């Protein structure tokens, strides 16, 4: 990138609304400053995952509410305009996201309770079968359960974004045909480019776009490229190839970022810790070694950590996207979906 292009990238990145819609890394709040340094306007920590209990999710929300209260540079996001306000004020927004419906158990009234505390996006399953439907790791997917259909309707009523990542094919297609508000795959890549069970088929992406939603592309290495020689080592261009595919498939208005940085990818932990995390999730059945090959794996070096996210803007410009398109991909598409679902 020449000098003029580098200046343009820095200006665009500085002025853009940048939204990373999935951030389990923020279970360790010491990384908040890394996202701020990377120019992120709004980030979605994973408050709960899988079959976590209501008490676990409540504790997670309380911890974040207390943390944000002590930081003038942070803001809890409840409306789309909150994101714009945070950008103008030089703050970073925190958006509450569940990766799984465990905290609701089978009590739909808990949707209202968590929504009142700030919950704004909910993933239907986490890889396995639950009360709602089947995860993407299941061999048999019978679609949304009757409870799952009621839950989707209740999420719609409460203006909570329906998220289909980690969810089985039929269950997602049922949800996308049922939802009355835009729905998303918050962090999923293209199965056409790399046929991992965690990636999605073209008709799934089209169905999400048809609701007015989008696909958020993930940087998790083993969902970008195969793990050759025991490790996945994608480049930024490998990741942007997934963006290119979805843009050509569903249009520039229906693609965003759900980068999914997490502490089990180098350099956030040492190799032994990373393998220990992998052993745990495989042993409890959340991950299969086929979809989640044994680590270590490596983030694209150009965006290895959240403080390096200027590299994403540089990469998109280098790939040929113009300024308006880059702004949409960085955050404006998410902002539109949030406004459509949450209101102002």
**Closest CA relative to residue 47, chosen from 119, 140, 152:** 119
Banded model confidence at residue 7, pLDDT cuts 50, 70, 90: confident
**Would the pLDDT of 225 be above 80?**
yes
Provide mean pLDDT across the span 198-227.
98
**Would the pLDDT of 14 be above 80?**
yes
**Tokens, residue 202:** 């073209």
Residues 6+ apart with CB under 8 A from 129: 135, 138
pLDDT digits (tens, 9 = 90+) for 131-153: 999 999 999 999 999 999 999 99
Cis status, amide bond into 51, omega within 30 of 0: no
The parent domain of residue 71 ranges over: 3-342
Q: The domain that contains 98 carries what CATH number?
A: 3.20.20.140
pLDDT digits (tens, 9 = 90+) for 30-87: 999 999 999 999 999 999 998 899 999 999 999 999 999 999 999 999 999 999 999 9
pLDDT digits (tens, 9 = 90+) for 107-130: 999 999 999 999 999 999 999 999
**Tokens, residue 116:** 């009142």
**Closest CA relative to residue 217, chosen from 262, 165, 176, 266:** 165
β-partners of residue 97 are 46, 121
Percentage with pLDDT > 90 across the chain: 92
Residue 166 confidence (pLDDT): 98
Are the beta carbons of 50 and 128 closer than 8 angstroms? Answer: yes
Report how many domains make up the chain.
1
Are the beta carbons of 313 and 12 closer than 8 angstroms? Answer: yes
Residue 325 confidence (pLDDT): 98
Provide mean pLDDT across the span 147-166.
98
Kindly report the average pLDDT of the chain as a whole number: 96
Q: Give, in order, the Cα–Cα distances in Å from 72 to each of 27, 31, 47, 311.
A: 20, 16, 21, 27
**Tokens, residue 227:** 């793990």
Banded model confidence at residue 3, pLDDT cuts 50, 70, 90: low
Provide the terminal-to-terminal Cα distance of the chain, rounded to the nearest Å: 38
Of residues 266 and 296, more confidence is placed in: 296
Banded model confidence at residue 2, pLDDT cuts 50, 70, 90: low
Q: Give, in order, the Cα–Cα distances in Å from 309 to each of 125, 257, 304.
A: 29, 11, 8
**Would the CA dihedral through 307, 298, 199, 102 be positive or negative?**
negative
Banded model confidence at residue 1, pLDDT cuts 50, 70, 90: low
Residue 244 confidence (pLDDT): 98
**Would the pLDDT of 269 be above 80?**
yes
**Would the pLDDT of 289 be above 70?**
yes
């Amino acid at each position: 990138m020449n000098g003029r292009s580098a200046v343009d990238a820095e200006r665009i990145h500085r002025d853009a609304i940048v939204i990373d819609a999935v951030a389990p890394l923020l279970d360790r709040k010491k990384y908040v400053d890394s996202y701020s340094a990377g120019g992120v306007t709004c980030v979605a920590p994973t408050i709960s995952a899988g079959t976590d209990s209501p008490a676990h999710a409540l504790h997670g929300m309380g911890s974040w509410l207390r943390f944000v209260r002590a930081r003038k540079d942070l803001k809890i996001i409840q409306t789309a305009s909150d994101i714009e306000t945070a950008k103008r004020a030089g703050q970073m927004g925190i958006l509450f996201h569940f990766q799984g419906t465990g905290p609701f158990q089978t009590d739909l009234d808990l949707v209202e309770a968590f929504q009142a505390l700030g919950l704004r996006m909910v993933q239907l399953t986490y890889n396995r079968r639950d009360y709602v439907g089947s995860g993407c790791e299941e061999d048999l997917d019978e679609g949304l359960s009757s409870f799952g259909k009621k839950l989707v309707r209740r999420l719609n009523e409460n203006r909570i974004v329906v998220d289909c990542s980690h969810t089985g094919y039929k269950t997602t297609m049922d949800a996308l045909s049922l939802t009355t508000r835009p729905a998303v795959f918050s962090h999923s890549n293209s199965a056409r480019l790399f046929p991992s069970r965690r990636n999605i088929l073209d008709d799934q992406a089209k169905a999400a776009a048809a609701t007015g939603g989008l696909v958020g592309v993930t940087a998790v290495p083993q969902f970008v490229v195969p793990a050759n020689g025991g490790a996945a080592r994608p480049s930024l261009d490998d990741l942007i190839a997934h963006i290119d595919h979805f843009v050509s498939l569903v249009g520039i208005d229906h693609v965003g970022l759900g980068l999914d940085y997490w502490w089990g990818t180098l350099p956030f932990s040492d190799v032994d810790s990373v393998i220990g995390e992998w052993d745990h999730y495989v042993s409890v059945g959340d991950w299969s070694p086929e979809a989640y090959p044994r680590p270590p794996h490596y983030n694209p070096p150009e965006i290895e950590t959240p403080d390096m996210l200027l590299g994403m803007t540089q990469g998109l410009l280098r790939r040929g996207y113009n300024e308006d398109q880059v702004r949409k991909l960085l955050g404006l598409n998410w902002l539109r979906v949030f406004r459509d679902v949450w209101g102002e």
